[in-house]
Every structure is written in structure tokens, then in C-alpha cells.
Copies of this chain bind each other. A is one copy, B any other.
């Protein structure tokens, strides 16, 4: 492994590799070559080797990659073994869907609080978790820091909430609102989910196939 700069595109593919390794492991497969992985994922074997090589030398010539070992390495790189804590800000339907269905715990993320401003939600529960008032965010995060902020609040409030989270020392903001957040001085890391863009970029591709 050389210390060349790691392309974001490569980092973005790591969770995908992780998912396929999970599937392989579930099938009891113990080793996998870049070629075999390429068949499953649709990426090229070359790209897979290149991507992985940015992070270490995980394979063996003539053998390939050990599935559990590579999975463990990727889990490490993706912070799944750091015991991250996350707060969910905004207790609407989307938050509910996430809290109830997304296996945070399984990937080492502990949800440490759900927040909202609506009087009818504060004091209640969401997916079995107590909902606190967003005003308590700085106070509660000071006592129990979180590395990840999950934003599902209304778009208009996203920027302010992001600042609050940032001030409270959050290292990454998973922005599920339909406002874009721009990384300021580079920290925290921002991931804009933008389901709107996802859906309509598909629609755009549907339209542009007329002449194909």
C-alpha cells in the first residue's frame, strides 16, 4: 500500500464490498478472488483490487481474499468497530422507519437519543425510544457525546441543526432532509442523502433513452 491520496469514489464503494462479503459469509464462502467479486458486483476486478489496495494489502497472491478477514478490515475502516453513537434529530415518519428498520446496532452504531420540537412528540417515544426536545441537544450531547448526527427534521431547520450538531462535536452528519448541507471548514463530514435527486435522476435517465 502506498500513501497516495484515497479517492472518495473508492471510499464510497467500501460499504458495497462489505455487503457482498456479508452475503458470501452467509453462504459459507471462505475466500473470494477479485474476479469472483467482480462477477457478483458488476464492477471490474481491477477496480476492486485498486480500491482495496488504497487501504491495505488484504489479499494473497494465488489465493484471493479471506472473506471474514476482509470483512473485518472493511468494518474497521468504516468505523463499525469504533462504537459510534448517533442522535436522530427529527421524529417524523422517516425517523421512525430508520429507527425501527435500520440495523444500526448490528453495525456498531448506538442510537443515543431522538429529538424533536413538536410538543406532542417530546416526552413520547419513537420506536421504543424516548423523544427529547431539540433544545436539550447541546446539553445532552455535552454529557454524552455522539459522533454521528442523523438529520430528519424539516428542510428549513437543517442548517441551524447542523450547526448545533457541529458545535456539539459531531463528526459526521447524515442529512436526510431535502436541504443540501455544505461542508464548512471540512468538518463535520456531510452526507446529503437527497432521495429527491435519486428518484428524479432515475426519471431523467428514463426519459433520455428514447433514442436508444
- A205 and B97 contacting across the interface, CB-CB below 8 Å: no
Find chain B residues with CB under 8 A from A182 CB. Answer: 42
Find chain B residues with CB under 8 A from A101 CB. Answer: 92-94
Partner of A77 from B96, B100, B204 at Cβ < 8 Å = B204
- B195 and A14 contacting across the interface, CB-CB below 8 Å: no
In the docked arrangement, what's the CA distance between A14 and B197, Å? Answer: 8
- A209 and B196 contacting across the interface, CB-CB below 8 Å: no
A202 on interface, CB distance cutoff 8 Å: yes
Find chain B residues with CB under 8 A from A212 CB. Answer: 186
Chain A residues 170 to 191 lying within 8 A of chain B, measured CB to CB, are 171-172, 174, 178, 180, 182, 186-191
In the docked arrangement, what's the CA distance between A136 and B11, Å? Answer: 41
Chain A contact patch, size range: 35 or more
Taking CB as reference atom, which chain B residue is nearest A95? B97
- B107 and A200 contacting across the interface, CB-CB below 8 Å: yes
Chain A residues at the B interface, C-beta cutoff of 8 Å: 6, 8, 11-12, 14-16, 18-19, 41-42, 77-80, 82, 84, 92-94, 96-97, 100-102, 107, 147-148, 171-172, 174, 178, 180, 182, 186-191, 193-209, 212
Query: What are the 7 A-B residue pairs with the smallest beta carbon separation, nearest first?
Result: A93-B97, A191-B202, A15-B200, A15-B197, A79-B203, A94-B97, A12-B201
Q: Can you list 17 contacts pairing A with B, beta carbon distance less than 8 Å?
A: A11-B208, A15-B199, A15-B204, A16-B180, A16-B194, A19-B178, A80-B200, A80-B203, A148-B202, A171-B206, A172-B203, A172-B206, A174-B198, A189-B205, A189-B206, A191-B199, A191-B202
